[in-house]
């Protein structure tokens, strides 16, 4: 196992080396049997510090670039929505002059402010990728973080890509280990996990020693927080969570680079991130997932790219509704009742309280409403950005049909490995029409192809830029490891474009 080999060069993280610069801290070579003495953060630090681009399989690197293309496309599309302008206005009110780029906006900001803005753009439409088992959106924190620091340091594109991959890997592993327990305790796991992934990604770009990479993870535990109260009123808080994770990760790595000492057992400690954030469900945490097969099993390959700009938990239901509409030519007026079949652990996130979900007061609340989404699918025969506009939110036919949508447990759900779902429609003439999606489209064996991802990118980009501009961005992203980060950011920010 690759981790065991890397641990052989990790003794330096056990003994302090505060008097040495991070880049020159020595690395001794212990016997692999000492690995059981290392904390989880130390094991991750040893792995990250010794990882080289060539050690990542070529297929993983190529897949990573497709995920970057996807998150860039969602960020570009986000620039046309009002939340993006309000975010930029707020950040600009406190920002000093800076030289870092913002995706799709020909403006510059200080590095951490640019990371904050890019993270809000990346996650703002809830159209960014998700690991189903982790219930984490890893790219919307890992890429803005890595991009901002790599641009600041004029890093090679290959180093940017490697840092991004590390950020995705660590954030996703934390989500898998948490197994949904953070969500049910009122936290948005993406915002928690992203701090740790970004701390490692930023530390890698700073060339931190294993010891200081361990410190950085320790600091991430002190900044990681993402509360899910936004579900109650459709507020914009969730859009901030991956963005703040990027800022927190860079801050953690910067403190570690100066020798500021971070706690060693931030994951498994008595007051560590898992015990503090999972409550009475701590016994369900799979702590071993943090390091199991690290370096030989890449979880980025399991991250799903979204086909709909709505909460990933709703995708199987949306596809089921559209399949029934197509197959049976069902009209909204033919429907007496719609039953949405979901895993019970998702009810609080996308179905309850039902009365509030049936009449969402904002586009953001609509993205998390199974009642609204299914009604819109049957009325309009599709679900895209147009179904989140004001006219759709006020559409009497959609709102009327949403009153007929009820949710119940799917006894055959594959959750959390996949976001299974289905729909049962009862019609006026007594028919019962059923369609189920065991594996949500975009995940597992139903992963989107490279062509599908490019098509989604061009659809998103077309909202704000020309086709030639979009093609230049796509080419730059897919060749990002062959050029410098600043070559990439010049294209992403539309400078000279």
| Element at 165 (helix H, strand E) | helix 157-178
The domain segmentation of the chain, as residue ranges, is 2-302, 312-441
Mean pLDDT of 313-340: 97
Q: How confident is the model at residue 49 (pLDDT cuts 50, 70, 90)?
A: very high
Q: The domain 312-441 is classified under which CATH number: 3.30.1330.120, 3.40.1390.20, 3.40.640.10, 3.40.50.300? A: 3.30.1330.120
Q: How confident is the model at residue 326 (pLDDT cuts 50, 70, 90)?
A: very high
Classify domain 2-302 at the CATH topology level: 2-methylcitrate dehydratase PrpD (1.10.4100)
pLDDT averaged over the chain?
92
Which pair of tokens denotes residue 467? 């086709």
Residue 208 pLDDT exceeds 50 = yes
Residue 7's pLDDT is what?
52
Which residues, other chains included, contact 282 with Cβ-Cβ below 8 Å and sequence gap of 6+?
181, 274, 275
Residue 458 pLDDT exceeds 80 = yes
Residue 85 pLDDT exceeds 50 = yes
Residue pair 172/134 in contact (Cβ under 8 Å)? The answer is: yes
Mean pLDDT of 146-157: 98
Residue 18's pLDDT is what?
30
Q: Kindly tell me the number of DSSP H helices and DSSP E strands found in the chain.
A: 21, 6
When comparing pLDDT for 237 and 36, which is higher?
Answer: 237
User: Among candidates 450, 445, 384, which has minimal Cα distance to 68?
Assistant: 450
Mean pLDDT of 415-430: 96
Residue pair 490/104 in contact (Cβ under 8 Å)? The answer is: no
Please tell me the distance from the alpha carbon of residue 1 to that of residue 331, in angstroms, as a whole number.
56
Mean pLDDT of 48-60: 97
Residue 216's pLDDT is what?
98
Please tell me the distance from the alpha carbon of residue 490 to that of residue 497, in angstroms, as a whole number.
8
Residue pair 305/168 in contact (Cβ under 8 Å)? The answer is: no
Residue 58 pLDDT exceeds 90 = yes
Residue 51 pLDDT exceeds 70 = yes
Q: How confident is the model at residue 496 (pLDDT cuts 50, 70, 90)?
A: low
Specify the 3-state DSSP secondary structure of 342: strand
Mean pLDDT of 457-480: 98
Mean pLDDT of 241-255: 98
Which pair of tokens denotes residue 210? 């294993």
Find the range with the poorest average confidence among 22-36, 184-198, 267-281, 457-471. Answer: 22-36
Angstrom CA distances, 374 to 316, 331, 415, stand at 11, 13, 20
Report pLDDT digits (tens) over 93-112. Answer: 999 999 999 999 999 999 99
Residue 32 pLDDT exceeds 70 = no
Residue 250 pLDDT exceeds 70 = yes
Mean pLDDT of 25-41: 56
Mean pLDDT of 258-286: 94
Residue 459 pLDDT exceeds 90 = yes
Q: How confident is the model at residue 36 (pLDDT cuts 50, 70, 90)?
A: low
Q: How confident is the model at residue 311 (pLDDT cuts 50, 70, 90)?
A: very high
Mean pLDDT of 397-420: 96
Which pair of tokens denotes residue 420? 């299974």
Please tell me the distance from the alpha carbon of residue 146 to that of residue 162, in angstroms, as a whole number.
9
Which pair of tokens denotes residue 488? 């990439």
Mean pLDDT of 9-18: 39
Which residues, other chains included, contact 184 with Cβ-Cβ below 8 Å and sequence gap of 6+?
281, 345, 348
CB atoms within 10 A of CB 55: 12
Angstrom CA distances, 394 to 158, 245, 389, 460, stand at 47, 35, 9, 24
Residue pair 296/365 in contact (Cβ under 8 Å)? The answer is: no
Beta bridge partners of 130: 304
């Amino acid at each position: 196992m690759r981790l065991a080999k890397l641990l052989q060069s990790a003794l330096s993280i056990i003994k302090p080396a505060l008097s040495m610069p991070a880049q020159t801290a020595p690395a001794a070579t212990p016997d692999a049997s000492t690995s059981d003495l290392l904390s989880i953060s130390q094991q991750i630090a040893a792995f990250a510090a010794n990882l080289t681009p060539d050690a990542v399989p070529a297929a993983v690197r190529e897949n990573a670039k497709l995920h970057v293309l996807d998150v860039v496309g969602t960020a570009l599309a986000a620039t046309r929505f009002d939340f993006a302008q309000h975010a930029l206005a707020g950040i600009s009110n406190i920002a000093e002059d800076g030289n870092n780029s913002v995706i799709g906006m020909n403006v510059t900001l200080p590095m951490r402010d640019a990371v904050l803005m890019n993270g809000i753009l990346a996650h703002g439409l809830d159209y960014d990728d998700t690991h189903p088992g982790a219930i984490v959106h890893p790219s919307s924190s890992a890429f803005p973080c890595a991009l901002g620091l790599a641009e600041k340091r004029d890093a090679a594109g290959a180093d940017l890509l490697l840092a991004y991959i590390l950020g995705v890997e660590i954030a996703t592993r934390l989500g898998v280990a948490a197994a949904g327990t953070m969500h049910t305790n009122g936290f948005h796991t993406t915002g928690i996990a992203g701090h740790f992934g970004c701390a490692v990604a930023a530390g890698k770009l700073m060339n931190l020693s294993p010891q200081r990479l361990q410190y950085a993870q320790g600091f991430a535990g002190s900044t990681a927080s993402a509360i899910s109260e936004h579900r109650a009123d459709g507020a914009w808080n969730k859009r901030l969570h991956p963005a703040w994770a990027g800022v927190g990760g860079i801050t953690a790595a910067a403190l570690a680079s100066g020798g500021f000492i971070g706690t060693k057992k931030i994951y498994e400690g008595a007051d560590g991130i898992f015990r503090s954030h999972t409550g009475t469900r701590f016994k369900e945490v799979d702590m071993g997932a943090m390091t199991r097969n690290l370096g030989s099993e890449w979880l980025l390959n399991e991250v799903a790219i979204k086909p709909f700009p709505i909460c990933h938990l709703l995708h199987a239901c949306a596809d089921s509704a559209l399949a029934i509409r197509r197959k049976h030519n069902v009209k909204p007026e033919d429907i007496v009742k719609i039953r949405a079949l979901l895993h019970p652990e998702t009810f609080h996130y996308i179905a309850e309280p039902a009365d509030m979900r049936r009449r969402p007061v904002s586009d953001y609340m609509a993205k998390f409403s199974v009642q609204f989404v299914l009604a819109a699918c049957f009325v309009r025969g599709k679900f895209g950005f147009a179904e989140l506009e004001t006219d759709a939110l006020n559409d009497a036919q959609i709102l009327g049909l949403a009153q007929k949508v009820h949710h119940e447990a799917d006894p055959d759900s594959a959750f959390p490995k996949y976001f299974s779902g289905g729909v049962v429609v009862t019609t006026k003439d007594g028919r019962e029409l059923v369609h189920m999606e065991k594996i949500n489209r975009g995940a597992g064996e139903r992963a989107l192809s490279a062509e599908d991802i490019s098509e989604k990118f061009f659809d998103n980009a077309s909202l704000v830029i020309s086709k030639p501009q979009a093609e230049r961005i796509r080419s730059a992203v897919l060749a990002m490891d062959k050029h410098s980060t600043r070559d990439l950011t010049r294209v992403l920010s539309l400078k000279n474009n």
